[in-house]
Structure 1
Amino acid sequence: MSVRKYVSTSLGGALLAGLVAGAPALAREVVPFSDGVMPGSVVISVSQRRLYLVNGDGTAIRYPVAVGKPGKQWFGTKSIDGKYVQPAWSPPSEVKRDNPRLPNLIAGGSPHNPMGAAAMTLSGGEYAIHGTNRPSSVGTWASYGCIRMYNQDVVDLYDRVSVGTPVYVTH
């Protein structure tokens, strides 16, 4: 192999490795978890910006999430009351007030739809756990109170939970 070909191949490999390293990896992971919460429950830690799906063996699946920005955070207990694949989205009045140019409805599957690949609505009607069209927001305080996930992670969670699953949102 010529030096030129080797350098070119090595630089190409290094560039590819750098691009992969900069891209979000498969974000979910199994971690120890012993919070006394019933297996199958969802626990969201706002301060950690992490969602935990509690397993029955002292572990949980941990996912990074975006949570409510300052002044938009909430805490308490809800349950999943609906599950939807690529749902259409109508901006809530507060979001529409802050972003008046938003359309009244964004079709499911549209690249402009902030719900992403799937959504699980929470009891009370105000919030959902959903995918996103802005993956760079995951891991930050970015929403109006909804919980945003990478699309591949929300699909994984969607397949693991049912309507009625308890959701605990903690500090």
Structure 2
Amino acid sequence: MGSPLQAREVVAFSEGVSPGTVVVRTAERRLYLVNGDGTAIRYPVAVGKPGKQWSGATRIDGKYVAPAWSPPAEVKRDNPRLPDVIAGGSPSNPMGAAAMTLAGGQYAIHGTNRPSSVGTYASYGCIRMYNQDVVDLFDRVDVGTQVYVTR
């Protein structure tokens, strides 16, 4: 039996949110897609490093397959050697297989080129998933899906 961080699973979930809602529990390093029947699909995720975490309500405002990535100013400041753009599909692209951008900021729910980081506090605030999981979630949500991030 592998680590519980290695696979998505259906679990009991009763938070009183609408079916189809995404709930990220930062402290658990888990993302839940609410099914509406008292269950949710739970995915392991990487979340923001200490000092880079956030919480609140937002929504998915874009969906992209193999997106190109431009490092936000803060990431570029910390890593000045990064190029201005990394092409989608490149092994060095940290967005992985797909990304769903979140309204109101520079954050996204996205895949990763560093699967070992999933289950940790690793990002600048984005929610990082295994590529196979981000593709699964991508197919299940729409632009406009409500997202709640809690500590």
TM-score normalised to the size of structure 2?
0.96
- Which of 4, 9, 18 is matched with 1:38 structurally? 18
Deviation at 1:23, TM superposition (A): 9.2
Secondary structure at 1:65's aligned position in 2? strand
Q: Which runs of 5+ in 1 are unaligned?
A: 1-20
Q: Name the counterpart of 2:71.
A: 91
- Which of 120, 145, 160 is matched with 2:140 structurally? 160
Kindly indicate whether residue 136 of structure 2 is the aligned counterpart of residue 137 of structure 1: no
Task: State percent identity of aligned pairs.
Answer: 81
Q: 1:67-78 residue pairs with structure 2 within 5 A?
A: 67-78=47-58
Deviation at 1:126, TM superposition (A): 1.3
For residues 62-105 of structure 1, the C-alpha deviation after alignment (integer angstroms, 9 at most, x for no partner) is: 00000000000000000000000000000001000100111110
Supply the distance in 2 between the matched residues of 1:26 and 1:75 (Cα, whole angstroms).
Answer: 24
Kindly indicate whether residue 28 of structure 2 is the aligned counterpart of residue 53 of structure 1: no
Give the length in aligned residue pairs. 151
Letter in 1 for 2:103: S
Deviation at 1:24, TM superposition (A): 9.0
Secondary structure at 1:87's aligned position in 2? coil
Q: Name the counterpart of 1:63.
A: 43
Q: Which structure shows the bigger proportion of residues in helix conformation? A: 1
Q: Which runs of 5+ in 2 are unaligned?
A: none
Task: Indicate conservation of the 8 Å contact 2:6/2:44, yes or no.
Answer: no
For residues 43-72 of structure 1, the C-alpha deviation after alignment (integer angstroms, 9 at most, x for no partner) is: 000000000000011000000000000000
For residues 108-147 of structure 1, the C-alpha deviation after alignment (integer angstroms, 9 at most, x for no partner) is: 0000000000000000131000000000000000000000
Letter in 2 for 1:88: A
Structure whose CA Rg is larger: 1
Runs of 4+ in 1 over 3 A off after TM superposition: 21-26
- Which of 86, 89, 92 is matched with 1:112 structurally? 92
Q: Which has the higher contact order (CA 8 A, sep 6+)?
A: 2
Supply the distance in 1 between the matched residues of 2:150 and 2:108 (Cα, whole angstroms).
Answer: 16
Q: Which structure shows the bigger proportion of residues in strand conformation? A: 2
Q: CA RMSD in A?
A: 1.5
